[in-house]
Homo-oligomer: A and B are copies of this chain.
Amino acid sequence: MCVRNNEQLSSAHVGEKMIRSLARLFVVPTLFCSFGFAQNAWTPKEINDMRDIRDAALSSDYGYQELSYLTDSIGPRLTGSAQYNAAADYVAAEMRKLGLEVTLEKATVPHWVRRNESGELVTYPGQANHFPQKIVLTALGHSVGTPADGVTAEVVVVNNSDELHALGDKVQGKIVLFNAKYDDRLRDAGYSFDAYGDAVRYRGIGPAEAAKLGAVGALVRSVGSADYRLPHTGLTLVDPKGKNVPAAAVSAEDADLLARLTKRGPVQMKLVLNTEMLEPVTGYNVIADLKGSEHPDEYVIVSGHLDSWDLGTGAIDDGAGVAIAMQAVETIHRLNLHPKRTIRFVAWVDEEGGISGALQYAKDYPAAKHFGTIESDTGAGHPIGYITDSSDEAFKVLAPIAPLLEEMGVVVNRTGEEAGADISPLSWAGVPGFAPLMDSRKYFDYHHTAADTLDKVDPKELRENGALVGVLAYGLANCAKTLPRIAKPVPDWMK
């Protein structure tokens, strides 16, 4: 998942807040028993159907095979790329094989491309024979490029915005490195997303802050906890009307190197980011409906985002989410179950680049027609629970399902602030959103890096998430009770 990070788009931080709250879920498990008012939300047969869905999904390799194909045979699926479109065609074809009603729905999406990129220290304390030293880096998503032969400037290192602003116009003509560290202690305690949220803000707004002070480039320390000289990309804020500077993430090791060297003396760095924002293109949400038997025009969405960053093959972010959703609908279909409401599978386009697919969807389909939404966008770790962006009342309605889930280790229920970036536009309008709550302690070792590849997904854990989402989707589609609908403040950038 991305964490959108336009400071003006402060709702971009919705994602971060949600994510922070996720981590807290590790701490306070809330086990529900059935409450009187929810006892007849499902018939005994429907409860049995959900048990069957769970068990069938737990023993199915369908989702993993789909994920294998998406990552191995198609590879990275950057919004706007030919690979993205191939993936959309592939997923649509797979859904048609199941007999679902499939549409590829258009959205105008950004088309950013990464070409060559490099960094090197041109002069630095102790340098031998004028030889440069390599810096391992990668351009941030949507970053403007440098001139073809790069920009060369002195590097200044700051740990936070306060230090940047204390320097003031001393950063003019310089390349600013934001050296905010990912907090491994938070991760070790199960708060991976808190650690991420704290570290990632400079990826989003740092370059713009540096540009305002006259910097000529911006670097951020790669977000995450790996120490394998691994650069971590992700969206950065680009203001179409303001001043932008080329922006890249450097590996943690190189960030430390720059911090040490700049204390010894001046460091001149050459930064080459050959990137380009091309004209917007048409992208596609893949929509596939398992038609409702009683309320075909009422929807329960199961979803993940099909686009990925381009360095790895987008296995954990978010091929896994798409595969989990595919597993859920395939299982329900295979068991020949007919949900009362339509279960709508969605593979979203452009979550990473600004949820343009989800925004288009929210324009095209009235929120009122949606009973509930699910998105899986935190990898494929063992699900310890699930969250809603609605309220505890939702869990009370869903209480009869809890024993089914507890038997597979899903024991934590909690309300969060956002269940998924793509389902958030519907959530603003009050549609209850849900998401698996996974063990994500390894997630930020690989997320947004070249190492986001198939091997990072455990097939068993992927199945567990497919089972959870399948049960939840069928439960929502057949729920005899209504769920609380709580509209959320629409963020400023949407107005």
Contacts and interface: CB of A to CB of B under 8 A. Distances in A.
B228 A131 contact: no
Given A73-B261, A228-B226, A229-B312, A86 B129 contact: yes
10 contacts: A72-B126, A72-B257, A72-B261, A73-B124, A74-B127, A74-B128, A76-B133, A87-B128, A136-B450, A253-B453
Contact of A228 (B86, B253, B256, B451): B451
A83 interface: yes
Interface residues of A, number: 46
A68 interface: yes
Nearest to A260: B72
Given A75-B128, A75-B133, A76-B133, 19 more contacts: A68-B260, A72-B257, A72-B260, A72-B261, A73-B125, A74-B128, A75-B131, A75-B134, A82-B129, A86-B128, A90-B126, A90-B128, A136-B450, A228-B449, A229-B312, A253-B454, A253-B455, A257-B453, A257-B454
Contacts of A82: 128-129, 131
A226 B312 CA distance: 16
A271 to B, nearest CB: 18
Contact of A128 (B83, B127, B134, B252): B83
B83 A453 contact: no
Interface in A61-119: 68-69, 72-76, 81-83, 85-87, 90
Contacts of A131: 75, 81-83, 86
A230 interface: yes
Nearest to A83: B128
Contacts of A68: 260
A333 interface: no
Contact of A453 (B76, B229, B453): B229
A123 to B, nearest CB: 11
A149 interface: no
A227 B83 contact: no
A41 to B, nearest CB: 42
Interface string A130-170: 01011010000000000000000000000000000000000
Contacts of A312: 229
A451 B229 contact: yes
A51 interface: no
A261 B75 CA distance: 12
A488 interface: no
Contacts of A261: 72-73
A319 to B, nearest CB: 14
Interface of A: 68-69, 72-76, 81-83, 85-87, 90, 124-129, 131, 133-134, 136, 226-230, 252-253, 256-257, 260-261, 264, 312, 445-446, 449-451, 453-456
B227 A451 contact: yes
3 tightest A-B CB contacts, nearest first: A73-B126, A86-B128, A228-B228
A453 to B, nearest CB: 4
B73 A455 contact: no
B69 A126 contact: yes
Contacts of A136: 450
Contacts of A451: 227-229, 253
A222 to B, nearest CB: 12
A446 to B, nearest CB: 8
Given A228-B230, A260-B68, A312-B229, A126 B453 contact: no
A386 to B, nearest CB: 28
Nearest to A73: B126
A136 B76 CA distance: 14
A51 to B, nearest CB: 34
Contacts of A252: 455
Contacts of A126: 69, 72-74, 90
A102 to B, nearest CB: 18
Given A228-B228, A229-B450, A73 B253 contact: no
A129 B257 contact: no
Contacts of A72: 126, 257, 260-261
Contacts of A69: 126
Contacts of A228: 226, 228, 230, 445-446, 449, 451
A194 B74 CA distance: 37
A342 B44 CA distance: 88
B227 A455 contact: yes
A261 to B, nearest CB: 6
A409 B121 CA distance: 41
Contacts of A456: 227
